[in-house]
Amino acid sequence: MINLETPKKFRLFVQQANQVADNFLRSNSRKYDLAEHAYPKELDLLASLVDGMSDSGQSQGAGAAGVRRDENGDEKGKVKNGTNMSSVLSIIEMCWGDVGLLLSMPRQGLGNSAIASVATDEQLEKFKGTWAAMAITEPSFGSDSAAITTTAVKDGDEYVLNGEKIFVTSGERADSVVVWATLDKSLGRAAIKSFVVPKSLPGIRVERLEHKLGIRSSDTAVIVLENCRVPAENLLGSPEIDTKQGFAGAMATFDNTRPLVAGMAVGCARASLEVVRDLLEEQGIEIDYDRPAALQSHAAATYIQMEADWEAALLLTLTAAWLADNRKPNSMEASMAKAKAGRVGNDITLRCVELAGTLGYSETELLEKWSRDSKILDIFEGTQQIQQLIVARRLLNLTSTQLR
């Protein structure tokens, strides 16, 4: 049975994450939102602390390193709350502080999540300590990862990569990029693999940085690969093309990373709810859970509805993480969590701006910033529409060819 209360062994850890979010992230939130593309130097100390906790085994799964499934899990069938759950809980707290700064933390990029999810033990050791961005999207497509045109051609002990990637989070600051490329376009989705590409290699360059609506403290880059030669051992997972498995192997990465993005949306939305509740109480507006919403003020009724949506998103997110920790299939649940949290996260932050009036629209509060930051959480790692499509395929037992 799933118990979605915060596990006792994680409560102190969650409290510490909240303190870090308050003292390190939220306190610098406005500063780096205004100074777009400036590197947040305050994060170096925080990243060193997380690295130290990971090396000592006391991190409880903090950060990107926590998304790896434990194939040596408890074989007696006992319920387990492991690194996926603790990673989601820590990310919720950190994004209660600031989403952009969390995404800017060294060695905690989405590429690190991909490495942690699918790399072999030898690759985990080889890439230990790297800061990896994730490069999937291209100018010709957005969420349809199967449409990748970046090529990887085997040449001796190396692969030669050519292509262009856009909207690469931490693309400039990271020292490696996990690049998704196809080994053979004629074989379709099954031939898509991911490669760890150190930016020190010839043939990979940052073309430009994007100016964005939100998460402005996080750099987003366009990356070009021109005859970039990558060691063959940098291909994550198996180099074999399994046409029976198709795209499932590559997409398995998202089963672990989508709950993390859902957690980002949950944390950001919670921050907005807490501020708005304080503002409403200051104005004498009471939120009474013992009375029907229809008998309360519009502001109170709206708040209760938002809080219900937020809790649904939280529970879906924790469910997806719990399933991963207990070695159960969670592809549909990961997409459900991402879809619900992404949508209501953005909806809640925008409605909080509305409820707060002029305070919501000004820089006096962080509400307007959170509404801007939350939009990307409904887009990256698969848009709202893609998540709904994945859920529909799972429910109807249809393939991607049968239901587009």
Which residues face 230 on adjacent strands? 159
Residue 270 near residue 310, CB atoms below 8 Å: yes
Q: How far is CA 34 from CA 28, 30, 38, 95, 218, in A?
A: 10, 6, 9, 18, 12
DSSP string across 64-91: GGGG---TT--TT------HHHHHHHHH
Write the DSSP symbol of residue 233.
G
Residue type, 164: E
Q: How many CB atoms lie within 10 A of CB 74?
A: 13
Write the DSSP symbol of residue 310.
H
Burial per residue of 250-272, b for 16 or more beta-carbon CB atoms within 10 angstroms, e otherwise: bbebbbbbbbbbbbbbbbbbbbb
Write the DSSP symbol of residue 6.
P
Annotated catalytic residues are 381
Angle between helices 248-282 and 83-97 (to 10 degrees): 40
Residue 159, SS3 per DSSP = strand
